[in-house]
A and B are shown apart, each in its own frame.
Chain A
Amino acid sequence: MEQSYNPNPNAGFGGMNPGGPPPKNWLVESILVTLFCCLPFGIVGIVNAASVNSKYAAGDYAGAQQSSAAAGKWTKIGFFIGIGVGVLYAIAMFMGIGSGIMAGMAGRQY
C-alpha cells in the first residue's frame, strides 16, 4: 500500500487534492452499524461513505465533506437506535414483559 495520505494522487493537478486529506468517510463504522444494529440506516451510511470517496477522488472536496457529514449522521442515528433497542429489550426482559414475546417466538430461534 502506498504511504501517501492522499488516496488518489491523480486527483487535482500537482498530486494533492486542493482541500487536503480526505474527510472521514465512516465506511467501517457504517458497516458495523449495518451488521449489528439491524436497521437500514447503516446502508445509508455505507452509500454516503462511498459518495465521500467518489467525490474526493473527483476533486470535489466540499461535496466530500457534505457526504461525510451525512454518513456520520446516519451511522450515529443507526448506532443510537440500535443501543436504545438493546437497552429497552434488556429492561423488558428484566421486568418479565419479554416472556410473552419469547413464548411467541419459541421455535423461531434458529
Chain B
Amino acid sequence: MPLRQPGRLLGLAGAGLLLGVVYFVFDPARYPFPRCPLNLLTGLYCPGCGSQRATYALLHGHVAQAAGLNLLAVASLPLLALGAADGIWAALTGRPRRAALLYRPWLAWLVAGLTVAFAVLRNLPGPLGSWLAP
C-alpha cells in the first residue's frame, strides 16, 4: 500500500488542521459546541468533560487554564504526541513501528488506573473534586 497510507495521513492531517482552526477561533465556553451526552443526561463529569475548552485554552498557550479544565487531557499530551509520531512514522515507512513505550504493561495500566481515578475524583465534593472538575 504505497499510496494508501500517505493518503490517509494527509486526510488525517487535514481533518486535524481543520479541527485545530475551529477550536482556535471559537471558544467552546461561548459557542454552542456539542455537549457531553453523559453530562447532559446524568449531570456527572466523565473523564472527557472540559476537553473542548481545554483544547481552546491549549491552542492559545494557556496551559494552566487547560489543566484546570481537564487535567487528564493535559497530562496525556506527551503520550498522544508519541502516538502521533509513531503513526506518522508507520505511515511514511509503510511498516508498523509500535513504539516500545506504548507497549509497556505498566504504562497502559497506569493510564487505565489514572483515567478511572480521575473520573471518580472529579465528581466528589471537596477541594480536590472541585479542582479536578471542569
Contacts and interface: CB of A to CB of B under 8 A. Distances in A.
B108 A49 contact: yes
Grouping DSSP codes into helix (H, G, I), strand (E, B) and loop, the B interface class, with mixed when no group exceeds half, is: helix
A5 to B, nearest CB: 6
Interface residues of B, number: 45
A34 B115 contact: yes
Contacts of B73: 35
A109 B102 CA distance: 36
Grouping DSSP codes into helix (H, G, I), strand (E, B) and loop, the A interface class, with mixed when no group exceeds half, is: helix
Interface string A27-45: 1110110111111101100
Interface of B: 29-30, 32, 34-40, 46-49, 51-52, 70, 72-73, 76, 79-80, 82-84, 86-87, 96-105, 107-109, 111-112, 115-116, 119
Interface residues of A, number: 44
Nearest to A109: B29
